[in-house]
Amino acid sequence: MSLITIRESETRSRFEWQAGLGISEAQFDYLCDRQIFDIRLDGLLTLNYVGFVVLQRHAVVSVPKYWDQPSSPVAFLHRVLATYFSRPGRAGVDSPLVELHYRDEGAVRELDSLYTLLRWFGDRGIYVRHERSSVLSGGRTDWGRTFVKTPPLFSCSSVIYPTPVLVSRSSLVNEVSALQLAMTIALLRKYEVSVPLAITSAAESLPLGQDPLGPKAPTYFRPLLTRERNSVYRTDDLALLMTLDALLGRQDGLGGEEGVTLYGTKAFYAVWEDGCRAWLKAARDDYAMAQPRWHLYLCGQWTRMRGIGEQRPDVVLQGESEIAVIDAKYYFPFPAARPGWQDIVKQLYYAESIVVAPGLSIGNVFLMPSPKVDWFQFAGIVEVSGGPRSFPPVEVWLANPELVFASYGVATDVEIRTVCNRFFAARDSMREMLGNTNRNVGAERGDGFP
């Protein structure tokens, strides 16, 4: 079973997609019915899906269009999608997108478990059972057992234990160690990934009689894993044991129509927006913003109604002297891909509508992904001018998506505040850098801009 990596926004012909993905016509038609491809006027198909496509004999990973990491995307992508789908408070924002998400998580559990095993081996090596036994000499004093089993002697106002209990700690490999190695090798071979020499060498000294993916494996190994869990307390040891238990007895041929299961989204822009919102969320949630209100004249009298939908910027940050209204936009690469007229108008109106305290200025920002930048990088502005009224420009900033998603969903308030401070520091540096030019970013008029 092999693993194929493709990139969102790739464009190919139907024949090239079908051959590259190694799927039948019926399976390709099924994917087209799920609308993970956009059909262009010239008949070519552009992939608009990020996530996993798991088939009977292989799996496909579609990475975000900005992805440039040499490491495997499986663990990263599963973590980000699982976090996004489970984020509290996302449902209201995301309700119009429900038809754009596919959440058959069983399709990727095995892939994610494989990378859990690889990370565990890289960090800890072979699983060992730590045991303590009493010895007559050469061991360390176990004061707990000594207090219980040895009567003390009192001498000159001191307490003496003449025969302390000595213990020796040993690390033993067992059948769980062999199962760990055999399961890792079996999954690597299943997905046609080369087995690291360190794992092969370790497994040669610990042969396992049972096939870890065979139908009889659960009956043999689950009681053994249960006993092992009852005697270990380290969190990482327990995580390994639970992963091995979950993998026992898994079979090929995951379900789904035409043998295809999907776990991902056609709206990764929503994931990017939510990631930026979580990355900078410490900011401010108590801002006031003008909202649309309808005044209807019905049957000779006025009736007041709320608008359908409300203005809601992705992020509002408050610095010492300014408010930053940030809209996360999933355009890449900039400037070849950039926000359109509707995005610009909406962002301008955000700045016009937000209520700020006297003395605070407003900074209007588009935030887009770029893996080449370190934290934040200023990339330019967009302005609307030449008419009867000029508007303050909207700044364009690039952010590193690896950092955005590094602590997605688990960032502490201190970490978030650090990111916010970095952003305001970057804006201060940008203003200082441009101070001697004719570009007055944040000015009321666009005079002097290119």
The pLDDT score that the predictor gives to residue 446 is: 40
Predicted model pTM: 0.69
Report residue 220 as tokens: 């043999």
User: Tens place of pLDDT for every residue, the chain, 450 residues?
Assistant: 567 889 999 999 999 998 888 888 888 888 888 888 988 899 899 999 998 887 766 788 899 999 887 777 877 888 888 888 887 655 444 444 445 666 565 656 676 777 788 888 888 888 877 655 554 555 566 666 666 677 777 767 676 666 676 655 555 667 888 888 888 888 787 666 778 888 888 888 776 666 666 667 778 888 888 888 887 777 778 888 888 887 775 544 333 444 577 888 888 998 999 899 888 874 455 567 777 778 888 888 888 876 666 677 778 887 777 888 888 999 999 889 989 888 888 888 887 877 777 777 788 899 999 999 988 999 888 888 777 777 788 889 999 999 999 888 888 888 888 888 888 888 888 887 776 444 444 444 343 334
The pLDDT score that the predictor gives to residue 209 is: 65
Which residues face 293 on adjacent strands?
306
Give, in degrees to the nearest 5, the angle at Cα 4 between 3 and 5: 120
The pLDDT score that the predictor gives to residue 115 is: 75
Separation CA 248–CA 246 (nearest Å): 6
The pLDDT score that the predictor gives to residue 120 is: 85
DSSP letter for 95, please.
Answer: G
The pLDDT score that the predictor gives to residue 82 is: 84
The pLDDT score that the predictor gives to residue 445 is: 37
The pLDDT score that the predictor gives to residue 206 is: 73
Query: Do the strands 101-103 and 2-7 form a parallel or antiparallel pair, or are they unpaired?
Result: unpaired
The pLDDT score that the predictor gives to residue 287 is: 65
Nearest to 237 by CA among 120, 112, 118, 109: 120
Per the CB < 8 A criterion, the answer to whether 393 and 383 are in contact is yes
Separation CA 404–CA 274 (nearest Å): 10
The pLDDT score that the predictor gives to residue 143 is: 62
Separation CA 266–CA 100 (nearest Å): 5
The pLDDT score that the predictor gives to residue 381 is: 87
Separation CA 66–CA 332 (nearest Å): 7
